[in-house]
Amino acid sequence: MPVANGCVRRSPRTVESSRKKRSVLATEQQSSERPKIGSSCKKAKNELPFNLKEVEAANGSTFFVGEPVPDDVARQRWSHHYLQKGAERMNWNSTHIFDHDDEVILNVKCHYLKANVSGFHLNLGDCVHVKGEKGKQDYIGRILEFFETTKGENYFTVQWFYRAEDTVMKDQAGCHDKKRLFYSDLRNDNFLDCVVSKATVVQVPSSVELKFRPTPSHHLYYDMKYSMEYSTFQIMESAYSNRESRKSEMSLLDLYCGCGGMSTGLCYGAKAAGVNLVTKWAVDLDEAACQSLKLNHPEVEIRNEKAEDFLELLKEWSKLCDQYVISACRSGNRNLRTSKLEETKHKPSAQRSSKEFEVLKLVSICYGDPMDSGKHGLKFKVRWKGYGPEEDSWEPLEHLLNCKERVKDFVRDGFSTKLLPLPGDVDAICGGPPCQGISGYNRFRNVDAPLDDERNRQILVFMDIVQFLKPKYVLMENVVDILKFAKATLGRYALSRLVEMNYQARLGIMAAGCYGLPQFRLRAFLWGCHPNEKLPQFPLPTHETILKGGAPVEFERNLVAFDEGQPRMLEKAVVLEDVLSDLPIVTNEENREKMKYKKAPQTDFQRCIRMKNYESLESARSNPILYDHRPRRLGEDDYFRISQIPHRKGANFRDLPGVIISSDNIARLDSSVERKLLPSGRPLVPDYALNYWNGKSVRSFARLWWDEVVPTVLTFPDCHCQAIVHPEQDRVLTIRETARIQGFPDYYRFCGTVKEREVLRKEANRAKDARGVEDEAIEITMVEASKHSILVKIGRKVTSQMECYSCD
């Protein structure tokens, strides 16, 4: 049947990548989820015009110019377009470029080098506007071939460019320059009559310093390539030539650091790769988390403050450094003098009279309101002459105008020691902005405007800090709901911000269980990479895993997995017995901070997790002291309930006396027996357990078992709604057990109360997940080595420095 004139067979909005990843983790994408926009005007397979009128309708006002390319030359140059003997058709899939549903036109008569469309001449390599969908902009592509079929149809092969809104960024691409395009490898054959007009598209260098591109107003430009595999934005390969020499030490800033899990994991991975990645600065609002980080990493400059206050502090610090260091050095100003501060506003002690007090020195700096005075701004902590640290006070800069020499000394010392980072000082930023506003466990999420939710706005702050400091590398992690909630608004926003700042970017979904942890735990990881550096890949899984959910269908190609048919050698899944079986027996009443191990390590995981800092598995010596192996003490009622739960797999509150399970799998009280009460008078089977998930939950007071994994670990473990009861002991998991499940080494200690330490344990996920990108430390530090797996495989003999530390 005839084909509608000038309709595009495939386009950047309808073509999906031909490469298909499939693994035990991947969710099969339904055919209904594969849009075929404009398919009504797509040429029907094997349907060819059969008379002159139909040829004229297909070709419109187009014709080729000049003589055909000699047949032998054409067959050699464009062999994919010439029918092989015995072949009926060939898919573009064989070129690894085209969608697997899109067929190469094979009934080719001859190729040409030039064409005429509506009076304008086109050459191979020209860029053109191609007819778009109704009500939308035209597509843009580059002409790769002109050819005529044996039935007289005029075709061209087009290589597509993407507009920002046609990529994964979609409606979050509004901040991008409308003239900016993204190169792609996607190409296909379309009727020559689809061409609307010529377009001028130029390649420009990518730079984080350039906000506006120096191109004529009518020109379109591209500086990056886009691929749907891992939603990758990457500079053109030729742009790698001017990469800087590598430093002996790389600096890391850990935002929303918690107790340091993510930065600790990254530094371990870098150390294993032979690179000295050092955490220089860390920021978190939680005081106990900052204390834990300081306990384990005393060398780190830790800021216990809001991330937005930290950003404002960085801006003010940059101004101070310019004034007292950079500008002062240029001007040679040495006329600043020490002065005194009037007592009327500053009283280090209650006994002070009307005399003046002299500033001895400034000892710290912050942006905020540390004294709860109601005034937010830049503050210095002052040490008064003749008084001790307990009399230090926070003073605003305007109260220190007569103490410029002290301010200058503080700033100069801070500048030389890099007390705070300036733009260009940070090699890498990592962090996981708080996710409570999008987590599936939060029933009060703002679906309509997720970026307006204060609990989600930290993603904006994170990106603002990246924009100010301009690091070489960025690694952001978050819950997978960032790619599910509100049409993935937050995930698209984060990716769009990086690309808008001209950073290369790659988005992946990784499961902790695939890298040697006894939990499934899917997390989203977003790489950002300066255009002068090489964008890291995501390492492939090293372990089998036990399924506990899956990735969003739309982001199936972001799941880090093996390609279909790719060879793989996976270790067995790590389960709870591999992780916990060597730990001493403790009770619900255990309160010791430390104790001795009772057993030698039973598994490779245990040998690895008991290593001292930066040891290799071959030389590992187990630390004889075990810290934080104590549970959060249960109240009498909950302890009695747990003691009644059988010591077997799958046991939970449904096994308590008086509970029956109906045919619809709903737990109910047995009305034929009297409801059993606890010594306190409360019911043995609480109402909340019966009502949770409308009676279908099996989590309340549920025991874990040795051959299982856990789906994830929440901020505050609660046996009322989570399976966190030890397999054989009548208590919940200890701090140390949960820390191991999440990847923290045994020597890593936690500060605060048991409850606070319970909250901190969740940060260990970042330790494991960060070591999960351990191999990318190779690329973080630009070591051009062969690809390694995401973690060092447990059970495999360590043979290189790359494998010196990992419990995966």
Q: What share of the chain is helix, strand, coil (3-state, %, to 5)?
A: 30, 20, 50
What pairing do the DSSP bridges indicate for beta strands 473-479 and 428-431? parallel
Q: How far apart are CA 450 and CA 194, in angstroms?
A: 40
SS3 793: coil
Q: How far apart are CA 81 and CA 111, in angstroms?
A: 10
SS3 602: coil
**pLDDT tens, position by position, 710-763:** 876 665 678 999 999 999 999 999 999 999 998 889 999 998 776 555 555 444
Distance of CA 68 to the CA centre of its chain: 51
Domains, the chain, in order of start with CATH, read 31-229 (2.30.30.490), 321-417 (2.40.50.40)
- The 3-class secondary structure across 604-625, one letter per residue, is HHHHHHCCCCCCCCCCCCCCCE
What pairing do the DSSP bridges indicate for beta strands 659-661 and 667-669? antiparallel
Calculate ∠ Cα 72-74-77, nearest 5°: 110
Q: How many CB atoms lie within 10 A of CB 359?
A: 23
| Cβ atoms of residues 294 and 300 within 8 Å | yes
pLDDT (0 to 100) of residue 714: 61
CA-closest candidate to residue 116, choices 67, 189, 61, 58: 61
Q: How far apart are CA 158 and CA 11, in angstroms?
A: 9
Q: How far apart are CA 665 and CA 363, in angstroms?
A: 63
Cα distances (Å, whole numbers) of residue 794 to 507, 604, 605, 785: 26, 6, 6, 22
Query: At 216, which amino acid appears?
Result: P
Q: How far apart are CA 154 and CA 1, in angstroms?
A: 17
CA-closest candidate to residue 617, choices 415, 749, 802, 453: 802
Q: How far apart are CA 486 and CA 479, in angstroms?
A: 14
List the structure tokens of 722: 């989570």
CA-closest candidate to residue 740, choices 641, 643, 627: 627
Full DSSP string of 192-246: GGGEEEEE-EEE----TT-SS--S-TT-EEEEEEEETGGGEEEE-GGGGGGPPPP
Q: How far apart are CA 520 and CA 576, in angstroms?
A: 12
Catalytic site includes residue 435: yes
| Cβ atoms of residues 250 and 270 within 8 Å | yes
Q: How far apart are CA 555 and CA 231, in angstroms?
A: 9
pLDDT (0 to 100) of residue 240: 54
Its sign, for the CA torsion 294, 465, 419, 403, is negative
Full DSSP string of 425-450: --SEEEE----TTT-TT-SS--SS-G
Which residue is listed with tokens 């987590």?
Answer: 439
**Could you give the dihedral angle defined by the CA atoms of residues 306, 309, 311 and 313, in that order, rounded to the nearest 10 degrees?**
-130
Calculate ∠ Cα 126-143-558, nearest 5°: 115
Q: How far apart are CA 773 and CA 761, in angstroms?
A: 20
Q: How far apart are CA 277 and CA 257, in angstroms?
A: 16
Q: How far apart are CA 98 and CA 185, in angstroms?
A: 8
Which residue is listed with tokens 């400091």?
Answer: 469
**pLDDT tens, position by position, 750-803:** 987 765 555 554 444 444 444 444 333 323 322 222 222 222 222 222 222 223
Cα distances (Å, whole numbers) of residue 525 to 231, 272, 391, 603: 12, 21, 45, 29
Q: How far apart are CA 716 and CA 727, in angstroms?
A: 20
CA-closest candidate to residue 445, choices 456, 457, 431, 434: 456
Using 50 as the pLDDT threshold, list the residues of the chain that sit under it: 1-6, 15-50, 85-86, 88, 91-100, 242, 334-353, 617-619, 761-808
Q: How far apart are CA 271 and CA 396, in angstroms?
A: 41
Element (H, E) at 536: none
Catalytic residue among 7, 435, 529, 804: 435
List the structure tokens of 78: 């464009």
SS3 113: coil
List the structure tokens of 330: 């240029």
